[in-house]
Structure 1
Amino acid sequence: MADKSENSDKSAAESRSGSQAALDVLRTAGAQLAELTGLRAETVTRFERTGEGWLIEIEVLELPRVPETMSLMASYEVNTDQDGQLTGYRRTRRYERGRADRR
């Protein structure tokens, strides 16, 4: 009976550890993108594990305008290795903050 409880505790700890690792990857990727582009991450819209690491889509404010709904936003696709170190990025979309997708 104790073995089952220990296994449950161990898997819960591993799950928390995995969640923390994912948050660390997000923080690191956002910080590295900001350092390279000079743009601060506002939102993460995609986050998934790939065979080589992680694929993250981050939205940033590229050009502030008044009113704010006219500000220019951009989506960046960021690739990292398994440890969360940035291996590449590219801008995939540029749009006004107040505009909805036309899909």
Structure 2
Amino acid sequence: MEINIGNMKKRSILKLIFFSALTIYLPLFLIVGGLGASGYDTVTLNGGNVYGVTAVIVSLILCVIFSFVGAAFLTLGAWILGKIRPNSVSIVAKQKLEDVREVFE
């Protein structure tokens, strides 16, 4: 079975990259928001530091924005690369267990 990136919709690629980036950024931004809620100068909005529950909310909004912008650029890059040189992913069935045992004997 072979999957071509050119056959995938740009929206599907964007969703995959967005949720991958979100899982990376979310713990970091939650820590930063928690520190801002505790009184540290970690969250800045319009040149001023934000504290309390507002810091957590602002950090979550910034997390979504950072993830979307990064995903948009990576999707654009994947789309351009797919136009220049089409890429594909091949899925190969695993060998039978008996074939593997013969190799190691």
With the shorter chain as reference, the TM-score category is 0.3 to 0.5
Larger radius of gyration: 2
Q: Which has the higher contact order (CA 8 A, sep 6+)?
A: 2
More strand by share: 1
